[in-house]
Structure 1
Amino acid sequence: MAKIRITKQFSFETGHALYGYDGKCKNVHGHSYKLSVTVIGTPIADSTNVKYGMVIDFTDLKYIVKEEVVDQFDHATVFNKNTPHLELANELKERGHHVILVDYQPTSENMVIDFAEKIQKRLPAGISLFSLRLQETDTSFAEWFASDNVI
């Protein structure tokens, strides 16, 4: 049977700052991110299966992505924990803010790599992550493709 790609889109609000950057993004600021998640697989051929004809139920994909990405990053501020931003992060946490500390510079490029790793681990057998597209602004986005990351 044919391989089919399906895509589900998500949106969330996240703040970040790029330590050491030489432009405005060194300041704490936020984005209305749009994440497109595309998976690939073969539609279920068993006509007795309630998910007959689906690669994966969009609701199941939504559950995975919301749990791994959206619910974690929505209305959070992301900082690289290996920078002086750690001081600011700790103060924000003490004041009740949702702060995420990561091992990387929180650019769209690095965030999309992080998201790919998280989502891939949760997909059921026979379903593969094909691509992610993380849109930071109306005109700027980072893309991750499985085919570009074959080891």
Structure 2
Amino acid sequence: MSNIRITKQFTFETGHALYGYDGKCKNVHGHSYKLSVTVIGQPITDTNNVKYGMVIDFGDLKKIVKEEVVDQFDHATVFNKNTPHIELADELQKRGHHVILVDYQPTSENMVVDFASRISNRLPHNIKLHSLRLQETESSFAEWFAADNL
């Protein structure tokens, strides 16, 4: 049986600031992120299985990505937990804002690595995460490939 890759796309809005950066992105700002999640596996061959012919039900993949990434990061503001922005983060949280503190600089590159870990941990054992593409703007994106991280 052949290995097949399937992809599902997601969108979410997230704010962040890059502490120590020498450009405009040092300021708190946001993006309309587009996340493409590609998994690889073999289609189910059991004709009695309701998911016969599928690698993974798109609905099952959606549930994983929604719970691990979209629901957590959508309309949140992400800061490195070691940044001086921590005072701003505390104030935003006191005012009821959704703030995520991470142990990395919240660039697209680092976020896509974080997302890869979150998603991989939830996939069924016979399905592997092949790649992620996190698009930050119309012309800028970061990609993660399993083959590059063996």
TM-score, normalised to structure 2's length?
A: 1.00
1:90 offset after TM fit, Å? 0.4
* Residues 1:133 and 2:133 are matched in the alignment: yes
* Residues 1:18 and 2:18 are matched in the alignment: yes
In the TM superposition, structure 1's runs of 4+ consecutive aligned residues that sit over 4 Å from their partners are none
Q: Which residue in the other structure is 1:32 paired with?
A: 32
Partners of 1:125 and 1:22 in 2: how far apart?
A: 43
Aligned partner letter, 2:66: K
Q: Which residue in the other structure is 2:144 paired with?
A: 144
Partners of 1:20 and 1:38 in 2: how far apart?
A: 33
Aligned partner letter, 1:23: G
Partners of 1:55 and 1:117 in 2: how far apart?
A: 20
Aligned length: 150
Aligned partner letter, 1:19: Y
Q: Deviations over 1:11-51 (max 9, x none)?
A: 00000000000000000000000000000000000000000
Please state whether the residue corresponding to 1:101 is helix, strand or coil.
strand
TM-score, normalised to structure 1's length?
A: 0.99
1:145 offset after TM fit, Å? 0.1
Q: Deviations over 1:88-134 (max 9, x none)?
A: 10000000000000000000000000000000000001100000000
* Residues 1:2 and 2:5 are matched in the alignment: no
Q: Which residue in the other structure is 1:41 paired with?
A: 41
1:83 offset after TM fit, Å? 1.1
TM alignment of 1:1-150, pairs within 5 A? 1-150=1-150
Identical positions, percent = 83
Partners of 2:87 and 2:117 in 1: how far apart?
A: 28
Partners of 1:128 and 1:4 in 2: how far apart?
A: 11
Query: Which structure 2 residue ranges, 5 or more long, are not aligned?
Result: none
Partners of 1:124 and 1:9 in 2: how far apart?
A: 19
Partners of 1:138 and 1:63 in 2: how far apart?
A: 26
Partners of 1:80 and 1:89 in 2: how far apart?
A: 10
1:56 offset after TM fit, Å? 0.1
RMSD: 0.3
